[in-house]
Amino acid sequence: MAEVKAAGQPPSALMTIAAVAGANECKVVTDNEKDCAGIQVVNPIRRPTRRPIRRAV
């Protein structure tokens, strides 16, 4: 967010939400991970890295 302020631009809504989430140790749900560096992100679009366990029936 400091880069945006230094450039004289107002922060976007996503940047404001990410800043509040980071200050309160919350996660942000978005598929825009690159703009949320340093914030915990949950990406609903990306496939999970682990497969669910299938139980025998």
- Per-residue pLDDT of 3-15, as tens digits, reads 666 778 888 888 8
* Torsion angle of the four alpha carbons 35, 37, 42, 43, in this order, in degrees rounded to the nearest 10: 40
**N-terminal to C-terminal alpha carbon distance within the chain:** 51
* Confidence (pLDDT) at 25: 92
- For residue range 24-57, list pLDDT tens digits in order: 999 999 888 888 888 899 998 887 666 666 777 6
